[in-house]
Amino acid sequence: MNVAVALLSALVVLPPMLVWAERRNLVSRGLVRPHEPYAPAPAVEYPGTAPRPGR
């Protein structure tokens, strides 16, 4: 019975509680940097291929 309660707690209760705590900056305490957007990649033309319409 103890194993079932521990497994249920680890899989069902703990993840939402960690998300809640992280939103309040209680887990990482600001050590993780915010996600930066990716830079757009320039278009690449390969030799020997037909040009794509619209370019």
> Rounded CA gap, 55 and 13, in Å?
52
Residue 18's contacts (CB-CB under 8 Å, 6 or more residues apart) are 27
Please answer whether residues 3 and 11 qualify as being in contact, where contact means their C-beta atoms are separated by less than 8 angstroms. no
Question: Which sequence spans correspond to the domains of the chain?
Answer: 1-27
pLDDT at 39 (0 to 100): 85
Rounded Cα distance between 52 and 45, Å, is 9
Q: Is residue 7 within a helix (H) or strand (E), and if so which, with residue range?
A: helix 2-8
Rounded Cα distance between 40 and 49, Å, is: 23
Q: What is the pLDDT of residue 27?
A: 87
pLDDT digits (tens, 9 = 90+) for 20-52: 998 898 988 878 777 788 888 787 777 777 766
pLDDT value at 14 more than 60: yes
Return the pLDDT at 35: 75
pLDDT of residue 41: 79
Question: At residue 17, does pLDDT exceed 90?
Answer: yes
